[in-house]
Chains A and B, each alone.
Chain A
Amino acid sequence: MGGLERASGDQDAVRARAHARRRLLVFALRIGLGVFILASWEALTSLRCEGKDTATCVIDPFFFGKPSGIWAQLVTWARNGTAQGPLWEQIVVTLEETVLGFLIGVALGIVFGVVLGRSRMLSDVLGPYIKALNAMPRVVLGSIFTIALGLEMPSKVALAVVLVFFVVFFNAFQGVREVDRDLVANARILGADERRLFTDVVLPSALSWIIASLHTSLGFALVGAIVGEYLGARQGIGLMIATAQGSFNSNGVYAAMLILAVIAILAEALVTRLESVLIRWRPNAITDVTI
């Protein structure tokens, strides 16, 4: 017996070691790939350059930027501020617009989705209009908002709200419609009235649908804020991109993109945390594909 146990214990240890080795390998390969891409980018934009004429390089850094240039741009922004003011302020402005647009859009989406999901009449009447609005490329509304609401924050928030609203709305609507019929029947037999049926069955059941839409809609909120700023603003990361583009500063565009990517990843992590708090009861609730 003792021998057997020891043998299986050894096997477990071997497996654990193999597992750890594999994780280390994956991690090393990830880092390696990143370094490889950045190094070849840097090399190809630096090799065979003759004098000041960047067009002679293998890849022209004037059009495609270059990692060292992007880094230098970030450092300059951080130290000396951007054309619109301190870098910190630009990030805060964009974040504020994103978060506001996200919150308002989610709230409106849930309210309308639930109300229309519960009322056959309303959804039949309003259905075609909502479909038409949804079919429209809503980013063009940004121009209207810029004209109507001006260059300050409201026009960006409005665009973010419009983008977020539809995602959440359709999920909330579907969530209310797809409530398990057995669960409803069970609740009614157990004594639930219409109000309890709604708060104890319909809403929790729709919640998992709504939360699944939060990942996508947070991304849309960021798109709304950036595009809004791009179309006309006094501050924000979108304006930084527009300014960099206007002065053919490709490193500036990449640097702003990098900042956006970091913001998006942090926001995504936040939503995932929120999700696991709100739907503890459901395993593997994330419907998005994870690699």
Chain B
Amino acid sequence: MRAGDGTGSVAAIELRGVTKRFVNPAGHAFTALRDLDLTVAPGEFCAIVGPTGCGKSTTLALISGLEPPSRGEVRVLGHPVHGVERSAGYMFQRDAIFPWKNVLDNVAVGPRFRGVGRSDAESRAREWVVRVGLAGFERYYPHQLSGGMRKRVALAQTLINGPRVLLMDEPFSALDVQTRLLMENELLDLWSTTGASVAFVTHDLEEAIALSDRVVVITAGPGTVKGEYRVDIPRPRSIAEVRFEPRFVELYEEIWKDLRDEVLVSYERTKHSVAS
């Protein structure tokens, strides 16, 4: 690793003055992100919250290298991102595990893609299947699993590659509340052993505070950083109980004031676009 510029350590994720414009098939350009600056320190769990359509997912696509920025610079672990970033893991909002592969093959697919031999990849996958609590389900296909179990497969599939940077796009938003709490706890447990840096996108402020070291609020599109809040609640945390701590409630109120205005702006816009 290269020495950072005076700060002592290199940021795990660094976006500097990033703008992303899309052109839709009708030829209209629209700006998803404008002059976004964002830094995630090594080993930090950073939550990104904002109203619907503020460019949160676009931010992750830029960091992963799936999309190039229109302007500005994206760096991961000190090097500029060109093409798909190998040190990144990405968990999608919708199920993105392969429906034609069973659990074991789904988990083993990362190492296989990266050139590991079949038996090697499978034995590593077996370990990960056990670690995410799916022992005994190796031969099941995704359609035979519950939503929570599919998320576990996705988690194992992502983590088996040992990503230094973990990008998560509202991964648990489709789950029921109880399953979600379980998965959030599971995520924190697994993450604490990996030391990866996390950028966790969500629109759920409670989830953001409960999980993260820092919450970044993004404005209604075009997205840019509106405020940053350090979450100084000690770890290890229990997701179910952390919500009742006075510090949690304080932080929630403080951040919500910021977020509320943006949510209203976004809401007004969708109302107008529906009306017109």
A93 within 8 A of B: no
Q: Within 8 Å CB of B142, what residues of A? A: 281
Query: Which residues from 74 to 128 on chain B have a C-beta closer than 8 Å to any C-beta of chain A?
Result: 84, 86, 88-90, 92, 94, 96-102, 109-110, 113-114
Q: Does A80 contact B (CB under 8 A)?
A: no
Tally the A-B contacts, defined by beta carbons under 8 Å.
61
Determine the residue in chain B with the shortest Cβ distance to A197.
B113
* Dominant secondary structure at the B interface: loop
A106-137 interface mask toward B, CB cutoff 8 Å, 1 = contact, 0 = none? 00000000000000000000000000000000
User: Is the pair B92, A191 in contact by a Cβ cutoff of 8 Å?
Assistant: no
- Interface SS of chain A: helix, strand, loop or mixed? helix
- Report how far A196 CA is from B143 CA in the complex, Å: 23
Do the beta carbons of A183 and B96 come within 8 Å of each other? yes
Partner-A contacts on B (CB < 8 A): 64, 66, 84, 86, 88-90, 92, 94, 96-102, 109-110, 113-114, 141-143, 157-158, 161
Sample 25 A-B pairs with CB under 8 A, ordered by A number: A180-B96, A182-B94, A182-B96, A183-B96, A183-B98, A185-B66, A186-B97, A188-B84, A189-B64, A189-B84, A189-B89, A190-B114, A190-B157, A190-B158, A190-B161, A193-B113, A200-B109, A204-B98, A279-B100, A280-B141, A281-B99, A281-B142, A281-B143, A282-B143, A283-B143
Total contacting residues, chain A, CB less than 8 A: 23
CB within 8 Å for A281 and B157 given contacts A185-B92, A186-B92, A190-B113: no
Residues of B within 8 A of A279 (CB): 100
| B84, B98, B161 interface centre (most CB from chain A within 10 Å) | B98
Are B113 and A191 in contact (CB-based, < 8 A)?
Answer: yes
Contact A204 B100 (CB under 8 A): yes
In the complex, which residue of chain B has the Cβ closest to the Cβ of A180?
A: B96
Of the candidates B89, B100, B110, the one having the most CB atoms from chain A within 10 angstroms of its own CB is B100
Interface residues of A in 168-193 (CB under 8 A from B): 180, 182-183, 185-193
Identity of the chain A residue whose Cβ is nearest the Cβ of B114 in the assembled complex: A191
Q: How far is the CA of A189 from the CA of B92 in the complex (A)?
A: 11
Contact between chains at A185 and B98 (CB < 8 Å): no
Taking CB atoms, residues of chain A closer than 8 Å to B92 are 182, 185-186
Which residue of chain A is the closest to B167 with respect to CB atoms? Answer: A189
Cβ of A286 within 8 Å of any chain B Cβ, yes or no, is no
**8 Å CB contact of A281 from B88, B94, B101:** B101
A201 located at the interface, meaning its Cβ lies under 8 Å from any Cβ of chain B in the complex: yes
Whether B98 lies near A201 (C-beta < 8 A) is yes
Residue contact B100 to A281, C-beta cutoff 8 Å: yes
Residues of A within 8 A of B114 (CB): 190-191
Rounded to whole angstroms, the CA-CA distance of A204 and B97 in the bound complex is 13
* Residue picked from A191, A204, A280, most chain B C-beta under 10 Å: A191
Nearest chain A CB to B126 CB, angstrom units: 18
- Cα A185 to Cα B88 in complex, Å, equals 12
A263-284 interface mask toward B, CB cutoff 8 Å, 1 = contact, 0 = none? 0000000000000000111110
